[in-house]
Amino acid sequence: MAKETLPISFVNTALGDEFNKRREFIRHRSPEQFAERFAEALHIPGGLVALAEVPGMGDTDPAVDKRSPFLIAVASHLGKDFQILQFADPRKERQMATLGLALITKLPIINSGLLFLPQPVKDNFLTYPYGAIKATFEYSGKEVDMVVTHYDPFHKILRKRNFEKDEEAGVNVQLEAFIKFFTPRIDKAGQRVPTGVVGDLNCDEMNTPANTLVEKLRQLEYTEAITGPTIPGSSDRRADRLFVTSELSVEQVDLFDTGSDHFGISASIISV
User: Which domains does the chain possess?
Assistant: 5-271 (3.60.10.10)
Q: Compute the distance between CA of residue 213 and CA of residue 206 in angstroms, rounded to an integer.
A: 14
Q: Which residue has the higher pLDDT, 140 or 33?
A: 140
Contact indicator for 197, 182 with CB cutoff of 8 Å: yes
Tell me the CA distances in angstroms from 133 to 42, 101, 220, one per residue in order. 21, 7, 18
For residue 54, is pLDDT > 50?
Answer: yes
Provide mean pLDDT across the span 239-245.
93
pTM (two decimals): 0.86
Distance between CA atoms of residues 7 and 199, nearest Å: 15
Report the percent of the chain where pLDDT is more than 70. Answer: 73
- For residues 205-230, give the mean pLDDT: 87
pLDDT in tens, 127-148: 556 799 999 998 888 899 999 9
Tell whether the model's pLDDT for residue 75 goes beyond 50: yes
Whole-Å CA distances, 238 to 36, 58, 87:
27, 26, 31
Q: Is 146 exposed, middle or buried (0-12, 13-18, 19+ CB in 10 A)?
A: buried
Report how far residue 28's alpha carbon sits from residue 95's, in angstroms, rounded to the nearest whole number. Answer: 29
What average pLDDT does the chain have? 80
